[in-house]
Structure 1
Amino acid sequence: MSRVWKWNRPVTVREVLEDLQKERSIAYTTVMTVLDNLHQKGWVRREAEGRAYRYEAVSTRAAYAAALMNDAWSQSDNPAAALVAFFGMMSEEQRQALSDAVRIVQGPETQEPTEPSESAEAREAATEPEQAEQPEQAEPTEGPPENPASAQGSGGR
């Protein structure tokens, strides 16, 4: 999949073979078999071109990575602890990227106020039963859109 993602366009077995042979010796039939297996698993789509096929990734590398993280997290018996451990492994750059991603997903209307006292008050108000029922205090219940890679199953990951 790395080679198919790297090219970022439909590729032939021959193109992938030539790219791989820059690093190691590999047979044409091996590359053909792997691409056929990826097609059968739904990871790539293919289109006939003469006597050969052109293969193209069904989802992006980012979508695949997100699906892997979601699968791992959902299988944890303590998701909060798994997240804490995961965040602890992150570099400062990765934590900044995570923070940026959370801001993007939340959107401007759901971001907390910048003053700490207002933020604490807003959190307390949202946890009180009578306040939580009010639309302006309710937490969003809709999750992120389904990841196209997650619908492919866990085979071959």
Structure 2
Amino acid sequence: MRRGRGELEAEVLAVLWQHDAPATAADVRERLGDDALAYTTVVTILSRLHEKGVLTREKQGRMFAYRPVDDPAGLAARRMRAVLDNEDNRESVLARFVSNLPPGDEQALLQLLQSDRGNR
């Protein structure tokens, strides 16, 4: 079965988020339960995620064990921040983002901003 772009990365991350302990490529491959998936493919995906800063890794014998840097919400926030960091007019992008939020999300964002200001 051919996966879509980024789909295997998402599956690997889901496996790692489900387990608190670091996992090797063999662990991840086993937990994915796809016997047709090559071990080297899993190693490549884990290496790419590490290069992107999404995973940390530590040496375990001759292999690496990987762990996510953030939970799913943290990863989404990092991606949003990366998009903002690549824009020349951050204020305009933020304004457009907020103006396109549904009312409930806009209210939640406002409450978060107000509560965060009180914590500084």
Give the TM interval when normalised to the shorter protein.
0.5 to 0.7
Q: Does 1:30 align with 2:37?
A: no
Q: For this pair of structures, how many residues does the alignment match?
A: 108
After TM superposition, give the deviation of residue 86 of structure 1 in Å. 0.9
CA RMSD of aligned residues (A): 3.1
* Unaligned ranges ≥5, structure 1: 110-157
Q: Does 1:14 align with 2:26?
A: yes
Equivalent-residue separation in structure 2 for 1:74 and 1:47 (angstroms): 29
After TM superposition, give the deviation of residue 25 of structure 1 in Å. 4.2
Equivalent-residue separation in structure 2 for 1:108 and 1:52 (angstroms): 42
SS, match of residue 58 in structure 2: strand
Q: Does 1:65 align with 2:76?
A: yes
Equivalent-residue separation in structure 2 for 1:6 and 1:96 (angstroms): 31
After TM superposition, give the deviation of residue 103 of structure 1 in Å. 1.9
SS, match of residue 87 in structure 2: coil
Equivalent-residue separation in structure 1 for 2:112 and 2:84 (angstroms): 17
Q: Tell which structure's C-alpha radius of gyration is larger.
A: 1
SS, match of residue 46 in structure 1: strand
After TM superposition, give the deviation of residue 77 of structure 1 in Å. 3.9
Equivalent-residue separation in structure 1 for 2:53 and 2:94 (angstroms): 29
Pairing of 1:92-131 with structure 2 (within 5 A) = 92-107=103-118
Residue 96 (structure 2) aligned to one of 61, 66, 85: 85
Residue 45 (structure 1) aligned to one of 52, 56, 62: 56
Deviating beyond 6 angstroms after TM superposition, the runs of 4 or more aligned structure 1 residues are none
SS, match of residue 47 in structure 1: strand
SS, match of residue 11 in structure 1: coil
After TM superposition, give the deviation of residue 40 of structure 1 in Å. 4.4
After TM superposition, give the deviation of residue 8 of structure 1 in Å. 4.1
Identity of counterpart residues, as a percentage?
32
Equivalent-residue separation in structure 1 for 2:31 and 2:65 (angstroms): 15
After TM superposition, give the deviation of residue 6 of structure 1 in Å. 4.1
* Unaligned ranges ≥5, structure 2: 1-8
Alpha carbons of 1:69 and 1:35: their partners in 2 closer, same or farther (altered >3 Å)?
Answer: same
Alpha carbons of 1:47 and 1:67: their partners in 2 closer, same or farther (altered >3 Å)?
Answer: closer
Q: Taking CA–CA contacts closer than 8 Å with sequence separation of 6 or more, which of the two structures ends up with the larger relative contact order?
A: 1
